[in-house]
Amino acid sequence: MAEIQTAAGRPRTQARILSLVIAGGGLILLGAVALVYVFWSQAGASNLPGGFESAVPLRVDFRAPKLELKEIGENPVSLADYAGQVVLVNNWAFWCPPCRAELPILEMLENYVTPLLEK
């Protein structure tokens, strides 16, 4: 039995399968967007500018782990050296585009948080 050809010259069954695949992909994308929206809306409003949301509150009830790293000049720096101060530990790499993209955001965060900590 011969298949009916569409205007593009493809068999109708292939066109139907392609339509179903596109529709299914659209539904999956819509579901993913809905999930992201639900998680972001449940996270609650933030007091930080630009919709930043804190993963960890500024005040925590646990001690920071022991951490010692070397500065560029090979001087050891321990997290304990900053006891009683607010510290943001950020793993960063110069070859990482998202890492470089987040630098302005971290600078905005510093400009926002620093006056609050000085009160």
For the chain, give every domain's residue range.
83-118
Tokens at 104, concatenated: 């302005």
Please give the helix or strand (H or E) that residue 68 lies within, else none: strand 68-70
Q: What would the pLDDT profile of 94-118 be if each residue is shown by its tens digit?
A: 888 888 888 888 889 888 888 887 7
Q: What would the pLDDT profile of 57-90 be if each residue is shown by its tens digit?
A: 566 667 777 888 887 777 888 888 888 888 888 8
Q: What would the pLDDT profile of 4-61 be if each residue is shown by its tens digit?
A: 555 555 567 888 888 888 888 888 888 888 888 777 766 554 444 555 555 555 666 6
pLDDT value of position 45 = 47
Separation between Cα atoms, residue 50 and residue 57, nearest integer Å: 17
